[in-house]
Amino acid sequence: MEDLEKQMWRKVEKYMRFLNFVPFLRMVAVCNNLAFSNLTKCSDIDLFIVARRGRLFIVRILVTGVLHLLGVRRHGKKVAGRFCLSFFVDDSFLNLSQIAIEDDVYLRVWIKTLVPVINDGVYRDFINENVWVDDDFNVNKPVFSFDDSQIKVALEWFLGGIIGNLIEKGLLGWQLKRARRKAENLGDSSSLLMNEHILKFHNFDRRREYRGLWKAKFGNSKITLDKFRELNLEKN
């Protein structure tokens, strides 16, 4: 799967250039299977996105719109090799212990393997906020360099005041209403979190399953990426 992994990273670099124009976007990080180096031919590319506080919903609608127009957003049955936009936070919600379950093996590995591909410096704040993840492993991180976008600067000026506040408020009400309707249909097995600081759209929360599998195989041994990959391969 090494060739597939290289192909995926080339796609990430290609399309992140377009997101570099999105106002109030502070970080985009690759997560889950591509970050774990645990791909299959059916894998998508999961992204974790950090927005400026008070502009989360503007960032979400613009990121979604850009990748959809480019034909690379995951939706419906179009999954493999597409970008999955299921986890957004603003920069007041960087400490993810707020959403952790007890002995959350999956979230700990997820945090340690994030690969920031757009980052205005907030990744350092993210790491500092998550020192509760004391595991000492990490992964090599591809470095992409994008020039500062004057379009982004102009859009942030235009949407930074009353106009932006009104748009954000309207998008917040509309998107939360849709998301809550979806949550009601999915039931308790989902992991949907929705408020003005976080949007987490995972139809199935498998963290308890991973915790059980880890304890059965490794007990209370130290978490390492190799062990997690082994567990993930067996699960899949």
**Domain harbouring 36, CATH code:** 3.30.460.10
- State how far Cα 73 lies from the chain centre: 14
Structural domain total, the chain: 1
**Coil, strand, or helix at residue 25?**
strand
Under a CB-based contact definition with an 8 Å cutoff, are residues 173 and 61 in contact?
no
Spatial separation of the C-alpha atoms in residues 13 and 45, rounded to whole Å: 12
Does residue 141 lie in a domain region? yes
One-letter identity of residue 173: G
Confidence grade of residue 49 (pLDDT, cut at 50, 70, 90):
very high
Percent of the chain, pLDDT > 70?
93
pTM of the model: 0.92
Where residue 186 falls among pLDDT bands split at 50, 70, 90?
low
Residue 228, domain member (yes or no): no
Q: Is residue 29 part of a domain?
A: yes
211 within a domain of the structure (yes/no): no
pLDDT score recorded for residue 140: 65
Inter-residue contact 176 to 194 (CB < 8 Å)? yes
Report pLDDT for 189.
52
Whole-number pLDDT of residue 117: 93
Which structural domain range is residue 69 located in?
2-205
Q: Alpha-carbon distance 60 to 198, whole Å?
A: 11
54 domain residue, yes or no: yes
Report yes or no on 78 lying in a domain.
yes
The residue with greater pLDDT, 22 or 177, is 22
- Residue whose structure tokens are 């990490």: 138
Q: Which tokens in the block code for residue 52?
A: 């400026």
Choice between 47 and 231, residue whose per-residue pLDDT is larger? 47
Q: Which band of pLDDT confidence, cut at 50, 70 and 90, is reported for residue 111?
A: very high
How far from the centroid of its chain's Cα atoms is residue 177's Cα?
21
On whether the CB atoms of residues 58 and 164 are closer than 8 A, the answer is yes
**Which amino acid, one-letter code, is at 176?**
L
